[in-house]
Structure 1
Amino acid sequence: MRLDELLDELQARIDEVRGTRDRVHSLLEAVVSVGRELDLAQVLRRIVEAAALLVDAEYGALGVIGPDGRTLSQFLTVGLTDEEIAEIGPLPAGHGLLGEVIHHPEPLRLTDLGAHSSSYGFPAHHPPMRTFLGVPIRVREEVFGNLYLTDKRGGIDFDTEDETVISTLSVAAGVAIDNARLYEGSQRQQRWLRANAEITESLLSGSSRPTVLELIARRAQEITAARLADIAMPVPGIDGLVVEFAADADGAERQGLVVPFAGTLAGAAHLAGKPVTAVQAWADEHYPAESQIQEGLGPAVAVPLGTAGGESRGVLLLARPAGEPAFGEGELEPLVAFAGQAALALELAERRRDAEQIALLEERDRIARDLHDLAIQRLFATGMTLQSAARLVEHEGAAERVGRAVDDLDETIKIIRSTIFGLRTKDREGGPGLRARAARAVGDAATALGHPPRLSMEGLLDTDVPPQIADHVMAVLGELLSNAARHAQATRVGVTLKAGQGEIVLTVSDNGTGIPAQGRRSGLLNLDERARSLGGSFSHETPDDGGTRLVWRAPLPTGG
């Protein structure tokens, strides 16, 4: 009997040693498997899978701590199907028992997790769980996240050996995560450098501003794995930023959207002149006016497009799908550098546009000089010759026809002089003509509308329209274009400005939703009163093909 007991004890010790050997072997395999990967997402997935396998846990999870150090920005699970995850609802943010390991980064082992004082219970459709093992993962002495394991198979509790195994794995996991982040950072840096080079090349090749904006947004979207990428710019007269380009499936709908300064990520970044982040922007209480972030998107960052002087020229907004990692410090640094390069690109594009404008004005001056020195002088000389010839013509009908020709020449000279004046009108604060002011206003409205309006101008706008009436015309034009951008939801806007037959007529038409029957009419009444004060009129109508047509007219002084 004594011999049998000794044999049984020996067999038990052998089994125990064999089990320990197998477990050590499994641990080494797990460490090698985790350290083999360089992609951070794959590393995290392998860590949680290996942890659940090593301690024979039915459920496992890895929670990545967010930038605030208090909540979870990412939560990877093992043991739950996609259907079960969808039924449970939003992933945990790190409160309750999960937050206990965040606030106290030490291993935690429980026989009944529901009995712990920090337990909040489970949400609806969550599978029941009893035993619990939580272990922090440190990367260079900083807590990166936590491993959570529940329900050891066989209905037994997690023991000290399980805790030791997972603690050992967490050390190897920290090294693997650090390597993956370093590799990912170097790869990301290379992609940012290539993107900067591509933008510079695009500028040197003479690409337009919209093309450069699209290139900036799309490259930032690709490198950061964002679903949404917006570029919003400040526009004079608008209390907010206007989205000039939006890269995502609904980009066309958001293009032209006015983003208020208050209560939005982009507005906060623009005013502060520094990046602003959110773990879940559309539901963040700090940004209640965030209307452009759709539900279903999670981590977001707004980076100002700054210049050397620190002034923000606009904002680049990026948002990832829900459940993706938050934007960390390692990503913000190259992103800020890229935004600075983008701001420089935009400034260079504007300088090139200014240079082209100066060249255009110089060419106009040359044309004006040629018209004055050649065409008008010749026409004047021809008129003088015809006047002299008319005195020698004895036939009354012929003399009358020569006189009419002289009058036509005088009218032609008047038109050419008006054209010369228009060509020489430059965008100065000293008082550009009505033609240049209207063209500028229509061009500026393209940003708010999301598309350039069609502009048509007729008549001697710079000579026949007095400055007082021109100021009224510009005020009315600005109001009508602003209304079209805010309320019409139009994809086509046309502007016609015509001076002739003793009056100035401004017509603005669009293919939008029309004027609402119950909408506020104070703006339209003001336009009507402005026209009546000058002896004119204001009317609006709905064409047969839909939209709105608004006509504002005022008489011009005789002899204009």
Structure 2
Amino acid sequence: MTDIDDTDEVLGAVSTAVLAVTRHLSVAEVLEVIVRSARRLLGARYAALGIPDDEGGFAEFIADGVSDRQRERIGPLPRQHGMLAALLRGGETIRVPDIQADPRFGWWPKAHPVMSGFLGVPIVDGDDVVGIVFLANKISGSEFDERDERILTLFAAHAAIALANARLYERSLELSVVEERNRLARELHDVVAQQLFSLRLTARSAAALLETRPAEAARLLERVEELSGTAIDELRSVIVELRPAELDSSGLVDTVRKFVELAGRTHGVTTEFSAEGELLLSRAGEVEVLRMVQEAVHNALRHARADLVTVALRGGESIVMTVGDNGEGFDPQSGTPRGLGLLSMTERTERLGGRIDIDARPGEGTTVTVTIPCEQPTARQASIEGES
């Protein structure tokens, strides 16, 4: 890295990056931040981080410095061979001025970028090599030196901790989801199922008495109406718990603002947020818009390699959500880019009766615009009454 000469300052930057990755929600996001930070901190043209699988390949392989189009031309994920295998099996750092001149070098696909200087470090957890991180081609043209090696080794040590923390977090999240599903299932069984069972018995009794004792049947039918209303209320109370609590405490605008700010800090990119006008949305509509913002922002951060992401919400005759980035973009004629999640956003937009537009150009970023109708007074009032 050419513009940071003081070791303490470099190590501080490494620690800041590692602290940021521990706040991510998935192992994949952790890997992306690690490899991107490593490349920037040490001034390399290419960087990659791989987590091996048990079948001679890689369960995760995150590369930085290679465009999506070039990655598609390269082909499938690499196998555990050549220098990658040496890192995984030897468990020692490898630093060479020319990777192709090293006898451990194997081969790479035709579309693979040409690499010369190479610095690779195993990611070790106890006695196990759980991954590798490597850099290639110093941008300055110089070779990787001992200082680079020390810093990347420190980064790899922190990466092992970050990976362990992320996996523990994902596991705890999975357990929480299972526990919540079980709780909701018990709630539905203990409350709603009992109400429906009583409703069914009362309806059968009313049907049996309809011809011989119509007055008694009428009374039971009133009871059926009462029980059905209670069951609906109980079911609604369970469903409401699936709504993000922050939407009720802070509202849609503040919830989106906090999310955008946190995403920027976590990924180390600049984010901008703006909102204007009244956003007339039902409770369900607010959840859908929030999820679409999260999806679009995550796509920009994970796949577009953007350093600026903007989010805007605008109310009025219709509600417009816009998420833009200055990343790599893509050619719409070549098909949907990997990881865009367009289907999910399209389905959410259709549920709200709106439309989604994608404006993308190679090298010029991507803008996602979702336009949905705001609630008409009658529909809005019906929504409010249904939630009360």
TM (norm. structure 1) is: 0.35
Bigger relative contact order, structure 1 or 2 (CA pairs below 8 A, ≥6 apart) = 2
Larger radius of gyration: 1
